[in-house]
Amino acid sequence: MSQAESYRRFSDTQAHPWVAVDVVIYTLDQSRLECLLVQVKEGSFAGKWAFPGGLVGAQESLDQAAERELYERTGVKNAYLEQLYTFGKPERDPATRAVSVSYLALVPYQEVKLNPASKYAAIGWFPANRLPRLAYDHDQVGRLALKRMRSKLQYANIVYSLLPSEFTLGELQEVYETILHRSLDRRNFRKKILALGLLKRLRKKRRGTHRPAALYAFIKRRPMIMEML
């Protein structure tokens, strides 16, 4: 039997796996790092929580499918989105043979408008470091996403996607401290960040109960590789 004939016989008798994407979406709400979960509606994992995701369309790239899922669940466009890893164990989904490409996304909380859609029972934010046991292999996906994000903060400016258009240096430092789960020296942090040339100081200040604080904005809101900390 030729190689071509063997391939045709395999194609006729074996089911091909579906290709899907799963998106791990993080945000910051009042100094809390949170992760978006959806509740599975049907099947063997009904009632369990998972990361939002879905099948890749016939005319979509993997990135386009992830961008669509992110927008449909949060209403946010142009957020930071990065491919993480491909998960393909045959037993990962008891209902069907599916290969999933996972993604990491960061969104500003102020812009989010959650939409569960009919395919999920519920949707909501959960503390990123205290997620419930998840469906499928999403426990493993979540650990990888959190590790990648914390590592990426050291050498890329991805925090721009978690912040509003205007912010104080104190708020920026708080983002780093929240995600890294450790304190940073205030003076050294500000000196380092300002020396990178990523920010521009605005001609206004935030006024409140304390002394007015200078406001800043990112000069470019796109991923850049550099030594951040």
Residue 5's pLDDT is 45
Inform me whether the pLDDT recorded for 12 exceeds 70: no
Residue 4's pLDDT is 40
- The boundaries of the domain holding residue 214 are 158-218
Residue 117's pLDDT is 84
Half-sphere exposure of 129 (CA within 13 A, CB side): 10
Same domain, 41 and 104: yes
User: Count of domains in the chain?
Assistant: 2
In a domain, 206, yes or no: yes
Inform me whether the pLDDT recorded for 13 exceeds 50: no
Inform me whether the pLDDT recorded for 220 exceeds 80: yes
Same domain, 115 and 214: no
Same domain, 31 and 80: yes
Tell if the pTM clears 0.85, that is, is over it: yes
Same domain, 52 and 83: yes
Same domain, 164 and 204: yes
101-130 burial by CB neighbour count: b if 16+ within 10 A, else e? bbbbbbbbbeebeeebeeebeebebeebee
In a domain, 20, yes or no: yes
At 22-77, the pLDDT tens digits run 999 999 998 899 999 999 999 899 999 999 999 999 999 999 999 999 999 999 99
Same domain, 139 and 202: no
Q: What CATH number corresponds to the domain at position 135?
A: 3.90.79.10
Inform me whether the pLDDT recorded for 130 exceeds 90: yes
Residue 84's pLDDT is 97
In a domain, 228, yes or no: no
Same domain, 130 and 174: no
CA angle 126/110/180 to nearest 5° reads: 55
Q: What CATH number corresponds to the domain at position 177?
A: 1.10.10.10
Same domain, 133 and 174: no
Contact assessment for residue 15 and residue 104, using Cβ atoms and an 8 Å cutoff: no
Burial of residue 145 (number of CB atoms within 10 Å: 0-12, 13-18, 19+): buried
In a domain, 98, yes or no: yes
At 155-192, the pLDDT tens digits run 999 999 999 999 999 999 999 999 999 999 999 999 99
Residue 180's pLDDT is 93
Same domain, 24 and 127: yes
In a domain, 184, yes or no: yes
Same domain, 62 and 166: no
Among residues 103, 120, 144, the one where a domain terminates is 144
Same domain, 134 and 163: no
Same domain, 95 and 140: yes
